[in-house]
Amino acid sequence: MPLVTTKEMLTRAQAGHYAVGAFNVENLEMVMAVVQAAEESRAPVILQTTPSTVKYAGLDYYLAMVQTAAARASVPVAMHLDHGDSFDLAMQALRTGYTSIMIDGSHHSFQENINLTRRVVDACAPSNIPVEAELGKVGGKEDDLEGGDGNPFTDPQQAAEFVQETQVDSLAVAIGTAHGLYKGVPKLDFERLSAIRQLVTIPLVLHGASGVPDEAVQESIRRGICKVNFATELRIAFSNGVKQYLAEDPDVFDPKKYSKVGRANVVALVKEKIALCGSANQA
């Protein structure tokens, strides 16, 4: 089926008290794996690319792969720009055909974040493309995403003001998760999440979920998270499959052979995450 936006996906997830898995993809095999897992799980799914991934091949390359995978699928598939770092990149993704846009102004001042986000929302509105924003800073480092240490968590009152001023469609909140690999067990501020949920009616997003204990992800969903992002674990799963094959057959020269193992690893992992989010059989 054709690509869809994340608007209806997340609205349904919010009403149904589950979350939609959003998976960062880096190559053809990962695109195929994520959509296969969604198809087998009968789940809506979001595929997404970060600015550094886009630099590697281009918005059009990734969109074409995801469009092809979606056309062969019978479950809803959306294509999302993750952590768009500028108005220009957000507009490039919009013009290219992405069906969901994130603008990340969390490293700016509160007012600058509002101004930037509102510009993107206004630009995307005529095309009915939903916009995600971030308030507070998710820590850690992955690709070009540098959250740093000791960054502020999302303030509930500011979140309510931010949503009112920007009219954004979904909001990524900082409650203790981080990008990349965790040095220890993350401790999430669930009370803060509940406070945000009481003041903000739009779908909430959890970034940096790779490595977060399952029970913490589930509790976040119970308290209002409607979209959960996974990136690092998918990369590890794919790479481990390739490494395993090459260790067993170091003379192999056909990339399809070892890539197939990496792809299978990603399929298995994504199915686990879909089940964790509660979105299986929600397509």
Q: pLDDT of the chain along its 283 residues, tens only?
A: 999 999 999 999 999 999 999 999 999 999 999 999 999 999 999 999 999 999 999 999 999 999 999 999 999 999 999 999 999 999 999 999 999 999 999 999 999 999 999 999 999 999 999 999 999 866 545 455 554 444 579 999 999 999 999 999 999 999 998 765 656 667 899 999 999 999 999 999 999 888 889 999 999 999 999 999 999 999 999 999 999 999 999 999 999 999 999 999 999 999 999 999 999 999 9
Pick from 209, 203, 198: nearest CA to 176: 209
Q: Which residues 6+ apart lie within 8 Å of 254 measured at CB?
A: none
Query: How much is the pLDDT for 144?
Result: 56
Q: In the numeric block, which tokens belong to residue 165? A: 């001023």
Residues 67-113: pLDDT tens digits? 999 999 999 999 999 999 999 999 999 999 999 999 999 999 999 99
In angstroms, the CA 53 to CA 269 distance is: 21
CATH topology for the 6-277 domain: TIM Barrel (3.20.20)
Contact 170, 6 (CB under 8 A): yes
Q: In the numeric block, which tokens belong to residue 96? A: 């290219």
Burial of 95 (0-12, 13-18, 19+ CB in 10 A): exposed
In angstroms, the CA 139 to CA 121 distance is: 25
Q: In the numeric block, which tokens belong to residue 84? A: 């768009």
Query: How much is the pLDDT for 18?
Result: 98
Pick from 12, 44, 15: nearest CA to 280: 44
Cα separation values, 223 from 12, 104, 111, 196, 211, Å: 16, 23, 27, 9, 19
Residues 60, 82, 85, 155: which is the catalytic one?
A: 82
Continuous H helices in 17-86? 28-41, 51-57, 59-71
Contact 35, 264 (CB under 8 A): no
Query: How much is the pLDDT for 182?
Result: 55
Query: How much is the pLDDT for 258?
Result: 97
Contact 180, 147 (CB under 8 A): no
**What's the whole-model pTM score?**
0.92
104 is catalytic: no
Contact 80, 109 (CB under 8 A): no
